[in-house]
Structure 1
Amino acid sequence: MDTRSLQKIDLNLLVALQALLEERSVSRAAARLHITQPAMSKTLSRLRTVFGDALFTRGNRGIQPTPRALELEQELPLLLTDISRLVTGREFDPWACTEEVVLALSEYVGVALLPPLIQRLHEQAPRLSIRTITRVENQLEQLANGNLDFAIHIAHSHYPPEFRTHQVGSSPSAILVREGHPLTHGEITWERLGSYPLIRLYISDQGQSELVRSSETFNRMRHPQQGSLETSHLMTALEVLRNTDYFLPGPAYILQNPASARGIVGLQPPESDDHSIDYVLAMHERGTNSPLHQWMWHQILETLKALEAEASREHS
């Protein structure tokens, strides 16, 4: 786009022109803009230079627009409205929104969150596009450079001040196995776990994970001949669990989705590994003044709040 012709235009000149077109009087336009009449006359002179036209001529009833000024009268209000909207931002209308939001979250979070969230968004913003990414490293960096809009992940120990975060809940860890698995009888110990094969579920940014620390404890105690399966696909992991004697360390809330958790039970981890996993919703400050980002932040939190309330009712 060649912007050289715009360099000589002062936006205030266009505002003054709009006032002159509406008032048809230099003095009334000056009073409206809270400037003196000589100052408005100088502004009109500058407008004539910019547009190469007299724009107004004197008449019996103030000033009369030239044909060129009448053309501008048709276009200028729309232009000024667009500029005002550009500066202040559009009023956000979820129903009309056609943008895309990119959300990073693990598959086991998505299994619980996405069905009710997508239903909520479809009812309020049916043209909005949602793209989820389950395997992405360096999530804070990706949020900062705009590749991600939001991330829901296991809480980091520290967030730089340019990130907005909200703790969205926690889940106790569990040992997931099939119904009828030998581990469902008797005490769960690291020694007993060491005699069964392990499923490792990939977790993005897992260096911050309490869950991984438990896996590291297990790695120190596991039998060297013990088999394992590593996958980033939760549905695959659960299907393997249903059909084998593998076990999977994971958050207990996976069991809240009846369809996904069919035939799976959660067992209390060994006593030395009894802790909860904290989860955080994060976004970068670049979205602070974005109505879409603020609205989406609210929708995610409201959905999570509804899920928490539902879980509380089921356990009461």
Structure 2
Amino acid sequence: MRFNHLDLNLLVALDVLLEEQNITRAAERLHMTQSATSGVLGRLRTYFEDELLVQVGRKMQPTPFALELVHPVREVLLTIKSSITAKPVFAPTTSKRHFRLVTSDYLISVLFAQVIQKIHQEAPNITFEMLGPGDNSGELLIRGEVDLMIVPERYIIEGHPSKLLFEEEHVCVVWQGNTLVGDSLTLEQYMDMGHVSVGFGRSRHMSIEEWFMNQYGFNRRLEVITNDFNTLPQLVVGTQRIATMHQRLARLYAEYLPLRILPPPVRIPVMREFMLWHRSVDGDPMHRWLRERISEFIQHLEQDHIAARDTSHPESRLAK
């Protein structure tokens, strides 16, 4: 298919070339030989009258014009995928769609393991791939390479739809044998203790360090940094350390590990978890069905959470 003398099949190759900036890797993704991929790049250069990618040392770098093409080319391909080539079939019971979700291990443990079980009852052939958060998670959504992100509010991407799923409190967790604190915690005690925290991505972004710095002008003393939320409570057992973590996950692990849950010494802002998706799939029937089911199931789980918190865990009310 051609448009204004441009073979639209070349846009797929251009998208890959601009992302990889490497002939060998682009050829592998396009299932082409390196020489054929180089030929495609030559045709693109002729059409756009620009080098697009130039060799600088051992690497290829995009020209200024190529950088301007990255976003519109990706948007065109996503539009074609969602509105022209995608079949508007809505049959959850027989659908074999594969959905890729970006979400943390914390959310999988406290919510999404149950949500996926529920969805399986209505759509047994739907499959899921769960990706952990990283430095490029937002870029994956923008490029249409993931279907949904379930992330805190600060990661919402402007221009793409989102929906609030639930709110979460933070609590402090210590080993039952911890002798540094009793049933309550002062800010001075909190700051003097060694902390276990989570760091994500190459930047090792910490979940609440920036807030503590802005609010109090200092950071916690981090003695252990792990790469997922589920190991936080495990790493305080048998130590005098403390972890600040999501209330739901703390309650879950307190049922199996010798832990004490304490209210934080300061009011930590409520965390708001959002579901967001690329605007190009906003009207996709199966995608919309999945979003609605996730939202409905989480609302039911929220009601159970509130009831359990108010009747069985008075320390959680203190955390408020």
Instruction: Give the TM-score range, shorter chain.
Output: 0.5 to 0.7
- Render the CA deviation track for 1:156-184: whole Å, top value 9, x for unaligned: 276423x1111112112221222242355
Which structure has the larger Rg?
A: 1
Which runs of structure 2 are paired with 1:208-287 in the superposition (5 Å)? 211-216=208-213, 220=218, 222=220, 228-257=223-252, 262-271=257-266, 273-287=267-281
Distance 1:258 1:207, change over 3 A: closer
**Is the CA contact 1:254–1:261 (under 8 Å) kept in the aligned structure 2?**
no
Q: Could you tell me whether the CA contact under 8 Å between 1:178 and 1:242 is conserved in 2?
A: yes
Cα shift at 1:209: 8.2
Correspondence list, 1:115-264, <5 A:
115-156=113-154, 159-161=157-159, 163-185=160-182, 187-203=184-200, 211-216=208-213, 220=218, 222=220, 228-257=223-252, 262-264=257-259
Partners of 2:155 and 2:228 in 1: CA distance: 26
User: 1:307 maps to which residue?
Assistant: 301
Conserved 8 A contact 1:155-1:208: no
Distance in 1 (CA, whole Å) between partners of 2:203 and 2:260 is 24
Q: Where in structure 1 do 4 or more consecutive aligned residues deviate above 4 Å?
A: 85-88, 203-210, 258-261
**CA distance in structure 2 between the partners assigned to 1:218 and 1:204 by the alignment:** 25
Task: Give the drift of 1:103.
Answer: 0.8
**Separation in structure 1 between the aligned mates of residue 285 and residue 204 of structure 2, nearest angstrom:** 33
Counterpart position of 1:61: none
C-alpha distance in 1, partners of 2:156/2:305? 29
Distance 1:160 1:246, change over 3 A: same
Question: How far apart in 2 are the matches of 1:206 and 1:110?
Answer: 23
- Deviation, structure 1 residue 139: 3.1
Amino acid at match of 1:178: W
> For the residues of structure 1 that align with 2:201 and 2:274, how far apart are their CA atoms?
13
Partners of 2:230 and 2:130 lie apart in 1 by: 16
Q: Cα–Cα, structure 1 residues 238 and 186, in superposed 2: closer, same or farther, change >3 Å?
A: closer
Q: Distance in 1 between matches of 2:134 and 2:180?
A: 33
Q: Give the CA deviation at 1:285.
A: 0.7
The answer to whether the Cα contact below 8 Å between 1:255 and 1:265 also exists between their aligned partners in 2 is no
Shift of 1:110: 1.5
Corresponding letter in the other structure for 2:259: I
Instruction: State the superposition RMSD in angstroms.
Output: 3.3
Distance 1:242 1:86 in 2: 55
Given that residues 100 and 147 in structure 2 are in contact (C-alpha distance below 8 angstroms), is that contact kept between their aligned partners in structure 1?
A: yes
- Which deviates the most, 197-206 or 118-127? 197-206
Q: Is the 8 A contact 2:198 2:206 kept in 1?
A: no
SS at structure 1 position matched to 2:161: strand
User: Structure 1: where are the runs of 5+ without partners?
Assistant: 3-84
Please say if residues 174 and 261 of structure 2, whose CA atoms lie closer than 8 Å, have aligned partners that are also in contact: yes
Contact 1:238 1:260 in 2 (8 A): no
Give the stretch that moved more between structures: 198-207 or 283-292.
Answer: 198-207
Gaps of 5+ in 2: 3-82, 312-320
Kindly state the Cα deviation for residue 297 of structure 1 after the two structures are TM-superposed: 0.5
What CA distance in whole angstroms lies between the structure 1 residues aligned with 2:235 and 2:94? 43
1:149/1:283 contact within 8 Å kept: yes
In the TM superposition, residue 242 of structure 1 has moved relative to its aligned partner by: 2.2
- Taking structure 2 as the reference length, the TM-score comes to 0.62
**Map 1:52-71 → 2, pairs under 5 A:** none
Letter in 2 for 1:305: Q
- SS at the partner of 1:127? coil
SS of the residue corresponding to residue 142 of structure 1 reads: helix
TM-score, structure 1 normalization: 0.63
Cα distance in 2 for partners of 1:88, 1:131 equals 20
Q: How far has the Cα of 1:151 moved from its partner? A: 0.8
Structure 1 residues 203 and 126, CA, compared in 2 at 3 Å: closer, same or farther?
same
CA–CA separation in structure 2 for the residues paired with 1:206 and 1:268: 29
SS, match of residue 300 in structure 1: helix
